[in-house]
Amino acid sequence: SLGIHVSDTNFHYLTVFSPANSSDSKKFTLSLASANITSSAFTVNESIGYSDVFQFLFRGDVTLWSDAAGGTNGIIQAVFFDDAPVTYLPPTTNNLAKPIVLTGATMLGNGAFQFSFSNDVSSSFTVTSATNLATPLSQWTVVGQPTYLGSGLFLFTSLPATNEPQRFYRVRSP
């Protein structure tokens, strides 16, 4: 378990990354519980080779639990906690978050990486990048803005990477 103390009354995001396991399946429960015992949980029961990213929205002190009892490999590799309050409105039919849907990713012949995504609102986005997934989000480098192609489709092409075994990308709206 991991206790998280928040000294304000704002909403915050907690993001947890569980890496793929190449030798065994994963079976565990990841939960976040507040002081008043309100909780949210994700249960994982997957075969070999899947990575998982979990995100919790919370306010106040919480405890993150990973329970692999009766299962295997409840491994958590990285935990990200936002460094600023989150503007949050309770969900209504007018303000539901519009998910970004990845529609294609490819490595181009010149070494550049290209991906597209859709979003049902015409919004501006910024693409950030890091070579280590555990890098705090505030330290990711802005690498550009995707091109809006119309009908909710966006396209982003990175510059060819040099001497980097891996690179991670994040799409965010301002």
Non-local CB neighbours of 68 within 8 Å, separated by 6+ positions = 27, 28, 74
Tokens read off for 22 = 């190449």
Tokens read off for 57 = 């929205």
Pairing of β 2-4 and β 39-46: unpaired
pTM > 0.85: yes or no: no
Sort residue 49 into left (φ over 0), alpha (ψ -120 to 50) or beta.
left
Query: Average of pLDDT values for 111-131?
Result: 82
Instruction: Report the alpha-carbon distance of residue 57 to residue 127 in Å, rounded.
Output: 22
Over the stretch 146-161, which tens digit does the pLDDT of each residue have? 998 887 888 999 987 7
Over the stretch 23-64, which tens digit does the pLDDT of each residue have? 677 778 888 888 776 678 878 777 777 777 888 888 888 888
